[in-house]
Structures are given as structure tokens and as C-alpha cells.
Chain A
Amino acid sequence: MDRQNQDTISSLSTNHAFSLVELKSGQTARIHSLRGGTGFRSRLAALGFTPGTGVKMLQNLGHGPLIVTVRDTRIALGRGEAYKVWVLSG
């Protein structure tokens, strides 16, 4: 199941992906990829932000930090950090 997800995602072009900061409160998406340095990516990946994982935006005020749910956990992310998380809608 997981493998299948990853395959379908890698076959999609990056054009459909958008930054997590564009996701509105209440919307859900799937993680496409992480940008930034190794340390940053590995930190987020360990928290469960891995490609194919579902993410729900709990609060995005359009400015300041936002709150998402990933793998049953609420996580607050700075805007700068959220910008580096790319997602696919659905």
C-alpha cells in the first residue's frame, strides 16, 4: 500500500505539488517532498513527514506559525519551515 503510494507520487510531475503554507485550515493533502538541508529534512522525516503521508491543516492564519496533524500528532511549524514541505492535494 505504502509502496504503491510512493510509486504513484513519483510518477506525477512536480508541477502539481505546492507548498504546505498554501493549504487552508481544514484541508488535507499528501506529502510530496521535503526541501532544505539534510538536518532539517531528517528531523521532519523522523516526525512522520515522509512522502505519501497524509497531512491535515488545523490552523493556517496566513501569517505566523501553523498547526498540522501528521500521523495522529499535532505539530506546530514555523512558516519558513512549512514553506519547505511540498504537498499534493487529495
Chain B
Amino acid sequence: MAEQHKDSIRVALAGQPNVGKSTVFNLLTGLSQHVGNWPGKTVEQKAGTCEFDSLTFDLVDLPGTYSLSANSPEELIAREYIIREKPDVVVAIVNAATLERSLYLVAELLPLGVPLVIGLNMIDVAEQQGLSIETHVLEAALGVPVVPMVATKGRGVRELLTRIQDIACDGAGYQPNPPDIRADHKQVLQRIEELIDSYTPQEYPPTWVALKVLEGDEQITQMMRPRVPQGTWKEIAGIIGQHEDACVAVASGRYSWIARMVRAAVVKPKVGPITLTDRLDRWATHPLWGLVILVAILALTFALTYALGSPLQKLMDRYIIGGLASLATRFLGGAPAWLLSLVVDGAIHGVGTVLTFFPILLIFFAVLGILEDVGYMARAAYVMDRFMHLMGLHGKSFLPLFLGFGCNVPAVLGSRVVESPRARLLTILVAPLVPCTARMAVIAFLAPVFFRAPTLISWGLLTLNLGVLVLAGLLLHKVILRGERVAFIMELPLYHLPNWHTIAIGVWQRLVSFLEKAGTIILGVSLVTWTLSQFPGGTLETSWMAALGHWLEPIGSLMGLDWRMMVALLSSLIAKENAVATLGVLFGQTKSEASIAVALRAAVAPSAALAFLVMQMLFIPCVATVSAIKQETNTWRWPAFAVLFLLIVSLAAGLATYRLAMLFALS
């Protein structure tokens, strides 16, 4: 191949989970990256650019996968992208400390025929474990450029880019040594390839297709079956039938090849040193201490949220929202009152609602980012697995549900970490039952108004809420979404020091995605609600909202609640903490909190108040959560189900609470 002049090089970044692929990607692309979805999939796609040596590198981050089988949407996306889009170079990041395992993906990538460069990451970790790796020996064996890297310290990046450039511009020297097939499979594979060769779509390498057919790969089998004449397919099916264990045998073959590749390049210590990971895991995965540590971390997160998040929230409310409101008042001085109200009470209030989530989400995302980055999250999932099993879920669902304590929206979005579609759906459906900070804020306001022991009531409500979550999960698992339990197979990565750059980018991306997905909806619905609560008549008492409340009063009266409480419940649909603001408008002649409390106590009995609190804890998810459910399930069926399900649950629980409270109050 002659030297080509290129202005840009298309690079796809591949790698298994926990090899530091995102660190490399962040290092290369920084803030140029944009996050979206792979077309038609709920799998995140990251892309970005990088300038080097007057060339533009267009990078796509492929999903992290252990192999390229058809076992998950991520694996399908990764291999389809390489086959169809044919990037100029694929960079495979491998972890030097788990070299054999991470070269498995390389063994799957090489037969696809795209030029490959290997980023041998975490060589510092490998050295700490007493491993020594001769990079050039490995490079000679594989016939593929191997670049030693410590991505967390930025080492090896220039060389990586240089080697990518070399291959993209002049591929003459590139002669890879693809894995050979085990002797006992060679003939079989050859026969299958002969049979399918003329029917294989042009962009697919025939040998690779033959191997996937032999492995029993579902997607490739489905692609090939209709293309091949029936008689020929019968012969292929016969061959596959005789090699039922081919999927394991082919994998074994790849590992034997890897063993040969690394034999000369790697020197392993006879007895590995007792590592930091060994010592930390003695505690973190201990049946008792592991749980204690997890609970302590959760408690610390909540303490931090309240200690830092709430004051920040108040500051933002005073200066940003207050500032915006006074600015609007000044500029709209001559405008009609309704316009001013639309801007201040509708739009700016909506912005305020979105903003108030920010400090809390920032803390939650940061804590989660750190725990993920240092490697603790997998341990938390392991410790929680026993409990999640009750609901037909496994430990991995704990992570998104934990986010739900901050806000249910990222909990729903975070359900993507769960691989099985059924477990993901289950996680999404129970996520709205995690008591978010907004709901806790309503309790924090109302419990002291009605009860002498507000802390006890708050804890009681929280416990009840989590109890309902488990029961709902159990019900969904056993009755509604019956199916097999999900396989729990999870790598526990080595612990390492946090990489602040990676964490910061992750927090930023999660915040932006929250803004995009929830912010606009909350703002839009705030305006609609403002209209409903201002027209006709210009006051809440005469509005359509009030009419709706009056219409719902018969249901409310079953639990001792009047129309105003029903309006407050309805307004919590925009954002849960709106209930407080609505009660303020409906019960506060003056704006002081004390007068609202007095008016509330006069209108609502404690038993009814308790019923109200229970109901608002379990009520229909807020619009932002509903829309997140719609996005993640790609259908209206499940958000509709969640709304109906929680409506029934909350009404039933409210009613039961009221009756029980009356009973105890009487006796």
C-alpha cells in the first residue's frame, strides 16, 4: 500500500470492562466528546475527536465487552460497528495485570480483519504484582503494534497516537498473526466455510462467519439460515449437532493461542504478593463487615447530601432564583400581572425546581463515580446480591437503585448496567419506589407540623417505603414478569486510587444527561401546571387545578383529606417537593411557615396527615421519571403500567394507614 494522505483517521476504541478504556478515551478526547445512544438501542455511545500531528482522530468508544459473541446488545453493537463501518484502526485496550483474559477480545478482533493497535494499559499495576512484560516480544508474537501505557498518568498516549497514524497512513508493515483454529476443528470449519462462502454478505469475513456458525452464535445463524439453500443448511446443522460443545472448545482454542503468545513475553512470580485488593476484600466482601461498610458509606453519602447539598440548595434558591425573579420583575415592570406571574411563578419556578436537584445530584454522582472508579461498586453489588435475589434481581441492580435515593430519574437511566432485559425492566419498575430526596423533603416539612416525634415518623415512612419496594419487586418477579432468574457473573476489579479526571467527566456527563432528559420536561410541565393553577380567575382557589381537586375530594375524604390536599398530591407529579409549595399557597394567608403549620393542623387530622405522607411516598412517579421510563423501555406500555400500579398501591396504602391510625387513636 502506498503512503496515503489523510486529514482524519477514524478510530474505534475496544476493550473489556475494567481495563481503563474510558480513562484512555477521556484522555484522548477530553471535553470534545459527545454522548448519545447507538441507533435504535439503549446503549450509550460516546464519540469525540483528538488533534495530533496536524491530523484529526475521530474516535468512537465501543461498549466494553469481554468477547464478541451475540450474548448482549453491547457485543453485537461492537462487532457490527467494526464490520459495517470499517474504522481505519481499532485500538484494543488490554489490562497488563489480567493479560490473558483481556487478550481474549484481541483474539476475537483479529479475525475481523481490521488493522489493530494494542494499548497495553496498567503496566504499573502489573509491575506491582511482580509481573514483567516484554512489550516487543509480545508485539513480535502478535504481529500487532503493542504500546505500553499507564493511562491514569497519561503515559504512552503519544506513542499510541503515533502507532495509530503509522498504520492508518501506511499499512505495509502490518502483518498480524491471527489465532489459528484447534487442529480437531480445522476440517470442520473448512467444510462450513465452503458451504456458506458464496452466501455470506460481502462485508463479513467468511472464515469469521463460519466460526460463529460453529460456535452456535444466534445472530449469525439467523442471518445465514435464510441465505443458504435448505439442503446445504441441513448439512451445516448436522455438523453443528456433532460439535455441541463448540462454543467452549473454540474459546479454549483462543486461550491456548493466547497462552502461546504471552509465554515468551511474560514472567510471572511463582507466588503472587498479597495485594491491596486481597487485604481490602477481606473486609469489603465479608458477610458481616461488608454490609457494615456498605451501610456506613450510604449513611455518609446521605449525611454529606444534607450537610452540603441542602445549604447549597438554599444559596442557589436565594441568589440564582431570587436574582432571576427580581430581574424579571424589573424588566417586566409595565407588563400585565399575568405575564409577570407566568415568568416568575411558571418559568423561573420551573428552572428553580430543576436547579434544586443539582447540588444533591452532584454529590450523589460524585460519590457513585468515586466508588465505581476505585473498584468498590462491584463489591457493593456482591454484598447486596443476597437481598436483591428476593426480587429476582441481582447485585448489579443495587447501583442504579442507590442513585434513586438522590433522584429516580438517574436510577431509571442507570438501569443500563444490568445486562438482562428482564432484570433491567424489573429494576426500572421498582426504581420509582426508592424514596428520593424530593419526597424526603416533603416529609421533612410536614412531619414536624403534625407529629411530636418527626424523626421516628420519618424513619417509619422510609422503612415502610422500602418494604413496599421489596413487596412490589416480589410481586412483579413472581406474578407479572415471571421468568428465569438472571445469571450473576461479575468481575471484581482490582482496587486503585481514584482518577479525578475520569470521575469529573463522568459526573459532568451524568448531570448534562439529567438536564437534557428531565430538565426540559420539568420546565414544560411547570408552565402547564402554572396555566392550570392560574386560569380561570387568576388564583389557585378558582382554577382548573382546584376543580380537579374538588373532583377528587370523594377519594380524599375516604382518608380524611380535603380538596386542597388532593391538589398538593397532584402537584407533586411535576416534582415531588412541589407538594410543599402548593400547600403553602393553599394554606398560607401570610407567607410565614408558622401560619401555614397552624392552618394545616386545623384542617387535617394527624391520622389523615399520616395517610397523606404514606400516599405521597408511594404516589405516581413524577413526569421526569415517567418520561425516563418511556425512553429506557422504548414503549408507553411500561410507563403506563408504572403509573397505574403505583396509583393503586399508593391509594390502598393511604387508605390502610388512615384506617389503622383511626383504630389506634380510638383504642
Taking Cβ atoms with an 8 Å cutoff, the residues of A that contact B are 1-3, 6, 33-34, 38-48, 50-53, 58-59, 61, 63-65, 67, 70-78, 80-81
Determine whether B513 belongs to the interface, using a CB cutoff of 8 Å to chain A.
Answer: no
Determine whether B326 belongs to the interface, using a CB cutoff of 8 Å to chain A.
Answer: no
In the docked arrangement, what's the CA distance between A81 and B419, Å? 15
Task: Please state if B248 and A42 are interface contacts (CB–CB under 8 Å).
Answer: yes
Task: Please state if A61 and B385 are interface contacts (CB–CB under 8 Å).
Answer: no
Measured between C-beta atoms, what is the minimum distance from A86 to chain B in Å? 12
Please name all residues of chain A whose beta carbon is closer than 8 Å to the beta carbon of B491 when the two chains form the complex: 47, 73-76
Given pairs A47-B489, A72-B101, 16 additional interface contacts (CB within 8 A): A34-B248, A41-B247, A45-B252, A46-B67, A48-B101, A48-B104, A51-B248, A65-B395, A67-B285, A71-B100, A72-B97, A74-B491, A74-B492, A76-B382, A76-B395, A76-B488
Please name all residues of chain A whose beta carbon is closer than 8 Å to the beta carbon of B394 when the two chains form the complex: 78
Which residue among B98, B256, B489 has the maximum number of chain A CB atoms within 10 Å of its CB?
A: B489
In the docked arrangement, what's the CA distance between A53 and B489, Å? 17
Listed by A's residue number, 13 A-B pairs whose Cβ atoms lie within 8 Å are A43-B487, A47-B66, A47-B491, A48-B100, A64-B385, A70-B101, A75-B491, A75-B492, A78-B488, A78-B489, A80-B485, A80-B487, A80-B488
A-contact 0/1 string along B102-124, CB 8 Å cutoff: 00100000000000000000000
Task: Please state if A74 and B100 are interface contacts (CB–CB under 8 Å).
Answer: no
Segment 302-346 of B: residues with Cβ below 8 Å from A: none
Report the 6 A-B pairs with minimum CB-CB distance, sorted nearest first.
A78-B488, A45-B251, A46-B67, A74-B492, A42-B247, A50-B252
Determine whether B94 belongs to the interface, using a CB cutoff of 8 Å to chain A.
Answer: no
In the docked arrangement, what's the CA distance between A72 and B492, Å? 11
Please name all residues of chain A whose beta carbon is closer than 8 Å to the beta carbon of B489 when the two chains form the complex: 43-44, 47, 75-78, 81
Please name all residues of chain B whose beta carbon is closer than 8 Å to the beta carbon of A51 when the two chains form the complex: 248, 252
* Contact A43/B69 with A6-B252, A64-B385, A78-B394 known, Cβ cut-off 8 Å: yes
Segment 204-262 of B: residues with Cβ below 8 Å from A: 215-216, 218, 245, 247-248, 251-252, 255-256, 259
Please name all residues of chain B whose beta carbon is closer than 8 Å to the beta carbon of A2 when the two chains form the complex: 255-256, 259
Determine whether B277 belongs to the interface, using a CB cutoff of 8 Å to chain A.
Answer: yes
* Contact A46/B488 with A2-B256, A41-B248, A67-B285 known, Cβ cut-off 8 Å: no
Task: Please state if A77 and B492 are interface contacts (CB–CB under 8 Å).
Answer: no
* Contact A78/B66 with A38-B216, A42-B71, A72-B101 known, Cβ cut-off 8 Å: no
Measured between C-beta atoms, what is the minimum distance from A30 to chain B in Å? 13
A-contact 0/1 string along B249-292, CB 8 Å cutoff: 00110011001000000000000000001000100010100000
Main secondary structure of the interface of A (DSSP, over half): mixed
A-B CB contacts (within 8 Å), total count: 117
Please name all residues of chain B whose beta carbon is closer than 8 Å to the beta carbon of A40 when the two chains form the complex: 487
Taking Cβ atoms with an 8 Å cutoff, the residues of B that contact A are 66-67, 69, 71, 97-101, 104, 215-216, 218, 245, 247-248, 251-252, 255-256, 259, 277, 281, 285, 287, 378, 381-382, 385-386, 394-395, 485, 487-493
Task: Please state if A76 and B490 are interface contacts (CB–CB under 8 Å).
Answer: yes
Task: Please state if B248 and A45 are interface contacts (CB–CB under 8 Å).
Answer: yes
Q: Which residue of B lies closest to A63 (CB)?
A: B386
In the docked arrangement, what's the CA distance between A41 and B216, Å? 11
In the docked arrangement, what's the CA distance between A38 and B217, Å? 9
Please name all residues of chain B whose beta carbon is closer than 8 Å to the beta carbon of A81 when the two chains form the complex: 487-489
Please name all residues of chain B whose beta carbon is closer than 8 Å to the beta carbon of A61 when the two chains form the complex: 287
Please name all residues of chain B whose beta carbon is closer than 8 Å to the beta carbon of A58 when the two chains form the complex: 281
* Contact A73/B98 with A2-B256, A65-B382 known, Cβ cut-off 8 Å: yes
* Contact A72/B98 with A6-B252, A67-B492 known, Cβ cut-off 8 Å: yes
In the docked arrangement, what's the CA distance between A45 and B248, Å? 6
In the docked arrangement, what's the CA distance between A29 and B283, Å? 25
From the candidates B98, B216, B251, name the one contacting A46 in the complex (CB within 8 A).
B251
Measured between C-beta atoms, what is the minimum distance from B243 to chain A in Å? 12
Please name all residues of chain A whose beta carbon is closer than 8 Å to the beta carbon of B492 when the two chains form the complex: 67, 74-76
Task: Please state if A50 and B71 are interface contacts (CB–CB under 8 Å).
Answer: no
Task: Please state if A38 and B247 are interface contacts (CB–CB under 8 Å).
Answer: yes
Measured between C-beta atoms, what is the minimum distance from A71 to chain B in Å? 5
Q: Which residue of B lies closest to A39 (CB)?
A: B71
Q: Which residue of B lies closest to A53 (CB)?
A: B255
Measured between C-beta atoms, what is the minimum distance from B70 to chain A in Å? 8
From the candidates A33, A44, A59, A77, name the one contacting B285 in the complex (CB within 8 A).
A59
In the docked arrangement, what's the CA distance between A80 and B493, Å? 22
Task: Please state if B386 and A64 are interface contacts (CB–CB under 8 Å).
Answer: yes
Please name all residues of chain B whose beta carbon is closer than 8 Å to the beta carbon of A41 when the two chains form the complex: 245, 247-248
In the docked arrangement, what's the CA distance between A63 and B489, Å? 16
Which residue among A74, A78, A80 has the maximum number of chain B CB atoms within 10 Å of its CB?
A: A74
Measured between C-beta atoms, what is the minimum distance from B281 to chain A in Å? 8
Task: Please state if B490 and A75 are interface contacts (CB–CB under 8 Å).
Answer: yes
From the candidates B251, B378, B381, B493, name the one contacting A42 in the complex (CB within 8 A).
B251
Which residue among B71, B259, B487 has the maximum number of chain A CB atoms within 10 Å of its CB?
A: B487
Q: Which residue of B lies closest to A42 (CB)?
A: B247
In the docked arrangement, what's the CA distance between A78 and B247, Å? 21
Task: Please state if A71 and B71 are interface contacts (CB–CB under 8 Å).
Answer: no
Q: Which residue of B lies closest to A65 (CB)?
A: B385
Which residue among A46, A50, A64 has the maximum number of chain B CB atoms within 10 Å of its CB?
A: A46
Measured between C-beta atoms, what is the minimum distance from B127 to chain A in Å? 14
Measured between C-beta atoms, what is the minimum distance from B490 to chain A in Å? 5
Task: Please state if A77 and B98 are interface contacts (CB–CB under 8 Å).
Answer: no
Q: Which residue of B lies closest to A44 (CB)?
A: B489
Which residue among A1, A43, A63 has the maximum number of chain B CB atoms within 10 Å of its CB?
A: A43
Please name all residues of chain A whose beta carbon is closer than 8 Å to the beta carbon of B381 when the two chains form the complex: 76
In the docked arrangement, what's the CA distance between A45 and B490, Å? 14
Measured between C-beta atoms, what is the minimum distance from B380 to chain A in Å? 11
Task: Please state if B101 and A43 are interface contacts (CB–CB under 8 Å).
Answer: no
In the docked arrangement, what's the CA distance between A74 and B275, Å? 13
Please name all residues of chain B whose beta carbon is closer than 8 Å to the beta carbon of A44 when the two chains form the complex: 489
From the candidates B67, B256, B382, name the one contacting A3 in the complex (CB within 8 A).
B256
